[in-house]
Chain A
């Protein structure tokens, strides 16, 4: 049953890729149906799980022995507990909705079948990632989603920018993947196994140094996949992919895999406070980094990408807090999955109506033309800025509260940073909202003279947006009601209670306050007076933020250029030294060969002499051996 969950989309990917043009007309329906099959299976398993008690809810399924070599035992085995169930439901539900959305969005794309094949491949890999019962199998899923992400970012490979973005995502992710690979190797040498059970149980009896090493390597992996500083640079460029991809992979699911990894490895981080501190720092830095970048971008998708980084920063920070934060990190992850997917789908819908224009300064006043998009986008907007009693309000406030409970100066610092982040969130989201849906229309004919005719998108696109809007509005309230979510996850992640200097109510009040400040700031800049259709040059901080806070310049100077020099040096060495030795050896053997073959002169007498000489040597050597 669990295997089928992964198997259905995997089958879809295989059939669609192998089936070729025969499936051109039905391919997208096949893919969507198989995604729906996964969703139905997931729901069935979920209700089945609800029927059991908290302790017995985890399911294990051993499919087959994968690599049995002496002590090296790797199995293909699944583990379905509350944590993976949460992810499975999120992945399959958002995944199915986005499959449905893509039917409309990709309608005119000649390679639509291939697109759906990749989407199915992504679903299968992502489900494998969260269902794996050992780190090696998780690694397979981890690489699988990386591959799917690469293929989908570069889906419009005829655009050089898309091809480059795909390559960039792949290369940056590779850095993180090396971290995961090393972590898995360290686990094997330390615990003699990859399976979650022995590794996490054995963490108690392992030295802190080892745990810190493993933890830091896992964090490196998480940074790569979840676009956290310092491996954040790929996410903005990844928006080159089709918008449904941005919604599913680069907002709702794949980029949160890092949070899953750290939560799943909680036992390791709990034993390594230093690693936890690094996680917190990474989360806090990314939270602000993403928010600042999000404030400056005029490209709607890139602004949302900055927001994604920032929100995952919140989650990452929460996981760094240990058992106090795990539950709320996952809770924010789920609510974020809903409203961020909704925002991206809304952005896609806007682009769909605007001839694929992404510059928000060329939108304006779209609420009249796209009422459904406006309402669903607006609800998701309210959810993300933490409007009271919508999803983000509950999950984000809990994280901020957990930050304060760290205690002491650290607690105040973390709480302050997160409140600042909340204000920035409100600012950049309001900015997006105002630029897109309010004010006067600012669009112009494009280079070919086509004037955009904004229009509402077809039902196949708006229905998923509506469903996600419902989730954005209600999920947080539902989770918080009687602490449902906390009780649900507690058996897996544990739950700690910190010592907070401020009360829940105070935090909620403060968060709402800074939220209103952010909204007001955005309105002051963009709502009160008409917006310029061409971006003003801005101050240095704006310019830097537009360039993603110089991340690419930094990477280029610190990594790429020395790397280039190193490569050039190695190539030189390879040419002169290695090739020299190799070619020299080859030439000398060739020369030797040419000389030796002259002995073979065709005369039987020479051959006989050689035999005689050989026999003499043979006899002499044998006698000599006895003599020595």
Chain B
């Protein structure tokens, strides 16, 4: 028996995720020990502080050079602390922070029995419409567990792009996914739709996880190790000590290729790329809109981070094998997402297809396999996540008697009734479409330039054409809002609390700042473009 060695933990370098996980556990304790009335405030305070603290920790690490010169591998090789990881963790902390504000919004739903309530079910475990639910509503209960769930999800996401070892990658995936499955099921209105979405998401997510795990196993069989650096060494022809039990399989390229493809597939599922995208519209539509916003923004950031690290650190030696395949996925996503979005009639589904197209655009930057490619993807993710959050935040505000009015026909003439809100939404749509002076243009320009510089001109041409198709349905919504007569029984725009207003305002400001003066952030992303090996 060997002595059990205590792992060597770099507490400071890992502080962002540690803070978030600590706060999540604290959140669970709050649920257990605090009286119902105080939980909401305590949870909001803990979540906000934790995410702000984690963001401060990320900034501190980056400022002390961990993103560039002092990039290191921490936690006994399990986690990387380098530029891309820190950049994406920073984005994730901010996205999480903004999402907390959306989750905490309590002025949109009409007060129930004198208690103001949020968008989440009063008693999620109760049968929809059953007596237990009615009692819970009468008692004024709310589900404050959403906050620790959010924190756990964010914690998993923080680990995901930093994972430097296949097992950590898998664990992070599960840590971020499970809370999301739950959160999807928690809608206060249309609960059956919400639960259906959650089950679908769970089933398909589990299916994808299985692929990923299988891929991990195959790669272990190929390399005899799960560490990224170790596998990369074997791929580039410098195997370490051969495990006696794996002597038969090590170095077998078939294992490498199949395992690599399955890993990539698991991650493509998370980013919602064609043909692994089919969960997206159903889940985006069914989930409570604040969760959709959080999920659409944050999951994409985390999953693209993990995909980048996998492709750039583990599999660069296989570039010629996976690049053509990813070309196919990229084109399918850009074109498929844009084309199917044309005929959508529900604003949340529309945004879901738009996110599929955007996954394609970001993949174009990933395929570039250059430092510029990495930094352009980082920038795009930062810009895109805020536009997405802002857009879904606006969706939460347009309501009629049945809750959110997501059918597009109900948005007709919104610009006449609420010009400010419609203008902000139009801004987000223009950013999605990549119109200059919005962050969407700067991001799209960066990824397409990186792709073109690396010789992927074909991708850029298809990308621009897909953007043109996509512009059609974004602008159609703008036309609908501003140039159609409002309907008599149309929805009204609810005046939100400062929480949602902050989110919308912040997202609009970020969209414009990144569009008008992107250079500082492009430089920041440019500095963060190198992975530690």
A-to-B contact residues, CB < 8 Å: 586, 589-590, 592-594, 596-597, 599-600, 602, 604, 606-608, 610-615, 617-619, 621-623, 625-626
CA distance A113 to B488 in the complex (A): 46
Determine if B343 is an interface residue (Cβ-Cβ < 8 Å): yes
Which DSSP category, helix, strand, loop or mixed, fits chain B's interface?
Answer: helix
Whether the pair B339, A623 counts as a contact (CB closer than 8 A) is: no
**Cβ of B279 under 8 Å from chain A:** yes
Residues 433-464 (chain B) with a chain A CB within 8 angstroms = none
Q: Are A611 and B276 in contact (CB under 8 A)?
A: yes
Query: Is B74 interfacial (CB-CB < 8 Å)?
Result: no
Which of A613, A614, A626 is B321 in contact with, Cβ under 8 Å?
A: A626
Asked if B242 is at the interface (CB within 8 A of a chain A CB), the reply is: no
Using A593-B340, A597-B340, A626-B257 as known contacts, say yes or no to A618 and B469 having CB atoms under 8 A apart: no
- Nearest-CB distance from A608 to chain B (Å)? 6
A-B residue pair count with CB separations less than 8 angstroms: 89
Interfacial chain B residues near A608, Cβ < 8 Å: 203-204, 207
Other A-B contacts than A593-B340, A607-B204, A610-B276, 16 sampled, CB-CB below 8 A, are A586-B472, A590-B343, A592-B339, A593-B339, A593-B341, A593-B342, A593-B343, A594-B343, A596-B340, A600-B340, A611-B269, A615-B262, A618-B329, A623-B254, A625-B324, A626-B253
B275–A611 touching, CB < 8 Å: yes
Q: Is there a chain A Cβ closer than 8 Å to B199's Cβ?
A: yes
Q: Which of A602, A611, A613, A622 is in CB contact (< 8 Å) with B261?
A: A622
Shortest CB-to-CB span from B252 to chain A, Å, is: 12
Let me know if A622 and B258 touch, CB within 8 A: yes
**Contact in complex: A613, B325 (CB < 8 Å):** no
B208 at the binding interface (Cβ < 8 Å): yes
Chain B residues near A604 (CB-CB < 8 A): 199-200, 203-204
Chain A proximity mask over B285-316: 1 for CB below 8 Å, otherwise 0: 00000000000000000000000000000000
B352 to chain A, nearest CB (A): 10
The answer to whether B373 has its CB under 8 Å from any CB of chain A is no
Which chain A residues lie closer than 8 Å to B265 at the CB level? 614-615, 618
* Min CB gap B468→A, angstroms: 10
Q: Categorize the interface residue count of chain B.
A: 35 or more
What is the CB-to-nearest-CB distance from A598 to chain B, in angstroms, rounded to a whole number? 10
**Bound complex: CA A589 to CA B476 (Å):** 15
Q: Which B residues are CB-close (under 8 A) to A589?
A: 339, 342, 469
Interface residues of B (CB under 8 A from A): 199-200, 203-204, 207-208, 211, 253-254, 257-258, 260-262, 264-265, 269, 274-276, 278-279, 281-282, 320-322, 324-325, 328-329, 336, 339-344, 469, 472
- List 16 contacting pairs A-B, 8 Å CB cutoff, sorted by A: A589-B342, A592-B339, A596-B340, A600-B278, A604-B200, A606-B278, A607-B278, A608-B204, A608-B207, A611-B269, A611-B275, A611-B276, A618-B329, A622-B260, A625-B321, A626-B321
> CB distance A618 to B261 under 8 Å?
yes
Q: Provide the residues of chain A in CB contact with B257, threshold 8 Å.
A: 619, 622-623, 626
List B contacts of A613 (CB < 8 A): 275
The answer to whether residues A611 and B340 also contact, given A618-B261, A623-B257 and a CB cut-off of 8 A, is no
Is there an interface contact between A590 and B211, defined as CB atoms closer than 8 Å? no
Would B340 and A607 count as touching, CB distance under 8 A? Answer: no
- A604 CA / B265 CA spacing, docked (Å): 18
Residues of A contacting B341 with CB < 8 Å?
593
Residues of A within 8 A of B200 (CB): 604, 607
A589→B340 CA distance, assembly (Å)? 9
B343/A618 in contact, CB under 8 A: no
Chain A residues with CB below 8 A from B261, complex form: 615, 618-619, 622
| Cβ–Cβ < 8 Å partners of B324 in chain A | 621, 625
CB-CB under 8 A from A622, the residues of chain B are: 257-258, 260-261, 321-322, 325
Residues of A within 8 A of B203 (CB): 604, 608
From residue B522, how far is it (CB to closest CB) to chain A in Å?
19
Cβ contact within 8 Å between B258 and A615: no
CB neighbours of A626 from chain B (8 A): 253, 257, 321
- A607-B204, A615-B262 known; A625 and B320 CB under 8 Å? yes
Instruction: Please give, as numbers and ranges, the residues of chain A lying within 8 Å of B207 by CB-CB distance.
Output: 608, 611-612
User: Which residue of A is nearest B203, CB measured?
Assistant: A604
Cβ–Cβ < 8 Å partners of A586 in chain B? 472
Q: How far is the CB of A215 from chain B (nearest CB, A)?
A: 40
| Least Cβ–Cβ distance between A628 and chain B, in angstroms | 9
* A-chain residues with CB within 8 Å of residue B340 when the two chains form the complex: 593, 596-597, 600
B262 engages A619 (CB within 8 Å): yes
For B264, the chain A residues whose CB sits under 8 A away are 618
On whether the beta carbons of B262 and A611 are closer than 8 Å, the reply is no
